[in-house]
Amino acid sequence: MATPRRQVFVGTALALGAAATALGAMLAMWLRYRDAAISVPGGSWLPKDVSVPMVPANVMLIACLPICIFAQWAVYSAKRQDKPHAGLALGLVALLAIAVINAQAYIYSQMAVPVNEGAYGAMFYAATGTVVAMAAIGVVFSAVVAFRYLGGRTTDVEVVSAHALYWYVFSAAYAVLWFVIYVTK
């Protein structure tokens, strides 16, 4: 019996579906809590003395575009057996993902929202922490793909394609989170 094809790609798609569902549920709860807080006359969802630094949040969103481009470049290079360019593309994806994590850490340090003082802090850290965890997992995924492909499995383009899919879904998830949490506040 022949082995099933594209197992890594399908597994990645299923895991991403679960992650997107979890993040979507968190953002739905965020919107529900936000709506309840602002529906009260004079109510505010954002805690007093907390300002959202939009520059790093926007930089994170803008970084998602080159991450997707570089991830697709890795697929393009892998299909053409071009190891140097595939390695460069995978390295750039990991580097930009680390920059995204760094920008979110900066936002945490600037906002200094206490996690235990109301729904805002708990939901803020839960949702943005999920995205940070996804970015960290993506960095590890990039390293695994780089070692696997550059280590000699040049015919295994499926894992590079799964890597690109991971970053496409990450970028879409972050774009939704950016709008819900950072723009609508």
> Hey, is 131 helix, strand or coil?
helix
d(C-alpha 106, C-alpha 53), whole Å: 9
**144-161 tens-digit pLDDT:** 999 999 888 777 899 999
Inter-residue contact 141 to 160 (CB < 8 Å) = no
Inter-residue contact 56 to 103 (CB < 8 Å) = yes
d(C-alpha 105, C-alpha 148), whole Å: 30
- Other C-beta atoms within 10 Å of 100: how many? 26
**71-126 tens-digit pLDDT:** 999 999 999 999 999 999 999 999 999 999 999 999 999 998 999 888 999 999 99
Taking the model in full, what pTM does it have?
0.93
Domains defined for the chain, CATH in brackets? 8-183 (1.20.120.80)
Residues, the chain, total?
A: 185
Percentage, residues of the chain above pLDDT 70: 99
pLDDT of 26 higher than 90: yes
Where does the pLDDT of residue 44 fall: very low under 50, low under 70, confident under 90, or very high at 90 and above?
confident
